[in-house]
Homo-oligomer: A and B are copies of this chain.
Amino acid sequence: MQTESGASPGSQLLPVLSGLVDLLRQLQGPEQPSSVALTVLRLLAERGPGRVTDLARLARVSQPGMTQLVGRMEKAGLVRRVADPGDGRAVLVELTAAGREQRARTFAYHAATLDTLFERLDPRDSDVITQALPALIRLVDAGHAERPGHSPSGGEL
C-alpha cells in the first residue's frame, strides 16, 4: 500500500481509510451486529436515549429504515422504546442492560483486535498514530459540522 506524497491530504488519506474500513469489515466478532446497528449502539451509549428521527439522521439511514432497525434491535432485547414525555408524537429509544453489555463486548473485542495489530508495529509508529488521534477526531467533527441542524457535541439526542 502506498500514497503519492505530492497529492492532496484527502487523496492521501482516502486509500488509508479504505484499508481501515476493510480491516474493520473483518472485525465482526461473535455477535455480528451490522455496521448501522453498531453505530446505533454507540450513539445511544455515548449520548443517551434518542429519537428515531435523530438516530436515522446521525446513522445516515432513512427514517423507516431506522424504525425497522430499532424494531429488530428491540426484538433482540438490545433497546427499548419509551414514550417521549414532552412530545406525544415522538418515541425515545434507549439501551437495555443487554444492549449496553453487547456494545461493551463488541467494543472490547474490536479494541483487542486492533491492539494485536499495534503489537506488531514499531513503537514509533504506534506513537505517531496515537499523537494523530486528536487531529483525526477534529477531522471527524468537521464532517459532522457539515450537516445542517446538528451541533457536534450534541444536545438534541
- Pair B16/A115 contact, Cβ less than 8 Å: no
Contact indicator B10/A114 (Cβ below 8 Å):
yes
A19 at interface by CB-CB < 8 Å: yes
**Number of A residues with CB within 8 Å of any CB on chain B:** 65
Interface of A: prevailing SS: helix
Does chain B have a CB within 8 A of A140? yes
Q: Is A24 an interface residue (CB 8 A)?
A: yes
What is the distance, in angstroms, from A143's C-beta to the closest C-beta of chain B?
4
A87 contacts chain B at the CB level, 8 A cutoff: no
Question: Is B128 touching A132 in the complex (CB atoms < 8 A)?
Answer: yes
**Separation in Å of the A116 CB from the closest CB of chain B?**
8
Binding site for B on A (CB under 8 A): 1-3, 8-26, 35, 38-39, 42, 58-60, 107-108, 110-118, 120-122, 124-126, 128-143, 145-146, 152
